[in-house]
Amino acid sequence: MVQALRDISLTVPRGKIVGILGRNGAGKSTLLRLLGQVYTPTTGRIEVNGQIAGLFELGGMGNPNLTGREYATRYLRFMGVAADSVLAVLEEIADFSELGDAFDQRIRTYSSGMAARLYFAVATAYQHEIYLIDELLSVGDEHFQAKCWRRMRERLLRGASGVLVTHDWTAIVKLCEQACVIDEGRFSFVGSSDSAVVSYLKLPVPKPGVARFPASTPPEFLLESGKDSRIRLPVEILEDTAVDCAISIEMLRIGLGWEIVILSDYHPIGDTAGTYSADFHIAALPLAPGKYSLNLFLTRRPVEGERQRVGLDCRSWTYGNGLTLRVEGKALPSAVTLPFASRSIPPEVA
């Protein structure tokens, strides 16, 4: 008898989606189905407050001989949607899935992308109180994925709660504030989703034997929006090696998204041992005031023909040792302000 899960304790607050990160076979899907009361736990207790929509194996209850419309009707009826409101929801599903005429054709004639679109549209058509989501936001093309994200946010804003299990850490950062890492049936980490990502990725920090950012590196930088800015970093080269340095500024808004805002080229630091300073100049800092994460990378300069850079040291939020960049200044309605010049041209007088 294999025990898929052990010592699991999880609370999902109303209006939040808690992420569960884990590799294949870690017990993610089992946990999700337990929460969905599809499986019964051998020991322990599960309390659910609200109506559940389980998005486990999309299309699991489908018969490929059904048409899209029949599948949707069947799902809705099964979920207990009243007959008189089914018609309106069906229209909405046809619209969201963008299947057009194919909505009335048999599912077996669909491409996998079309089927995925149908299944997602059907599973999320109705505002449920609780969503249990398994890897789902990897369906369809980019245009459709964006729609999926928008819909999940919408459902969240209207008060839905849920659990998202995935091995895609970017999805966790985009949708969840809290996350757990599951490993061989146990939670190896429970906490904020960025820390969970660090714990999940467990990226090996290079041993700083050749070059490093010394301990005196300030943990936080303060810059002013729109002004010419400079980030000065101390760098120690311990062995005679050609060392390059790069920085990136990333915006990490837990539960909403994560993106790289500024990514520098690799700049040469030095070739011989010694303590250096790396200066990065950014003219008219195009960042809105706020908190960013600042990531630093030291690599050996690649020799001719070498493709990959050998990392020597790094500071990054994905490693759990990133720096903070605070940008101050006047709050602007945009994330990035470009130096536009504008003037008004009066209409020509006839």
Partner 1 sequence: MFGFNRYDLRLLINLFKMNVRDRYLGSSLGSFWAISNPLFMLALYTYIFGFVFKVKLPGAETTLAYVIWLISGYGPWIATTEAIMGAANSVVGASGLVKNMAFKTELLPIAGALVGAINLAVSFVFLLVLLAWAGTPITVHVIFLPVVMVLQFFWIIAVGMWLSAIAVFVRDILQILPTLLTAIMFMTPIFYPFESMPAIIQKGSLANPFYQIAEAYRSILIGNEFPSWPGLLYVATISGVILHFGLAAFRRAKGSFDSAI
Q: In terms of CB distance, is 29 or 225 closer to partner 1?
A: 29
Q: How far is the CB of 71 from partner 1 (least distance, A)?
A: 11
Name the pairing type of β-strands 17-22 and 161-166.
parallel
Binders of partner 1 in range 25-44 (CB under 8 A): 33, 36-42
Query: How far is Cα 273 from Cα 321, in angstroms, rounded to an integer?
Result: 24
Q: How far is the CB of 123 from partner 1 (least distance, A)?
A: 10
The reply to whether 66 sits near partner 1 by the rule CB under 8 A is yes
Q: In terms of CB distance, is 130 or 233 closer to partner 1?
A: 130
The reply to whether 275 sits near partner 1 by the rule CB under 8 A is no
Q: In terms of CB distance, is 30 or 295 closer to partner 1?
A: 30
Strand order from edge to edge, sheet including 229-237: 211-212, 229-237, 274-282
**Residue 37 Rama label (left phi>0; alpha psi -120 to 50; beta):** left
H helix intervals, the chain: 28-35, 68-78, 83-97, 112-124, 142-157, 169-175, 193-201
Which residue of 80, 204, 339, 346 would you call a contact of partner 1, by CB under 8 A?
80
Q: How far is the CB of 40 from partner 1 (least distance, A)?
A: 4
Q: What are phi and psi of 260, to 5 degrees?
A: -85, 125
Q: How far is the CB of 152 from partner 1 (least distance, A)?
A: 19
Q: In terms of CB distance, is 73 or 225 closer to partner 1?
A: 73
Q: How far is the CB of 133 from partner 1 (least distance, A)?
A: 13
Give bridge partners of residue 131 from the DSSP assignment.
53, 162
Q: How far is the CB of 68 from partner 1 (least distance, A)?
A: 14
**Residue 257 Rama label (left phi>0; alpha psi -120 to 50; beta):** left
The reply to whether 52 sits near partner 1 by the rule CB under 8 A is yes
DSSP of 87-127: HHHHHHHHHHHT-GGGGGSBGGGS-HHHHHHHHHHHHHSS-
Which residue of 65, 85, 272, 275 would you call a contact of partner 1, by CB under 8 A?
65
Which residue of 6, 14, 23, 77 would you call a contact of partner 1, by CB under 8 A?
77
Which residue of 62, 185, 206, 226 would you call a contact of partner 1, by CB under 8 A?
62
Query: How far is Cα 58 from Cα 116, in angstroms, rounded to an integer?
Result: 7
Q: How far is the CB of 67 from partner 1 (least distance, A)?
A: 10
Amino acid making up residue 249: I
Question: Given the rule CB under 8 A, which of 72-80, 84-92, 230-238, 331-339 is the region that contacts partner 1?
Answer: 72-80
**Contact of 237 with 276, CB cutoff 8 Å:** yes
The reply to whether 238 sits near partner 1 by the rule CB under 8 A is no
Contacts of 181 (CB under 8 A, 6+ apart): 20, 21, 22, 187, 188, 189, 190, 196, 199, 200
Question: Given the rule CB under 8 A, which of 53-61, 172-180, 187-195, 198-206 is the region that contacts partner 1?
Answer: 53-61
The reply to whether 6 sits near partner 1 by the rule CB under 8 A is no
Where on the chain is the footprint of partner 1 (CB under 8 A)? 33, 36-42, 52, 54, 56-57, 60-63, 65-66, 74, 77-78, 80
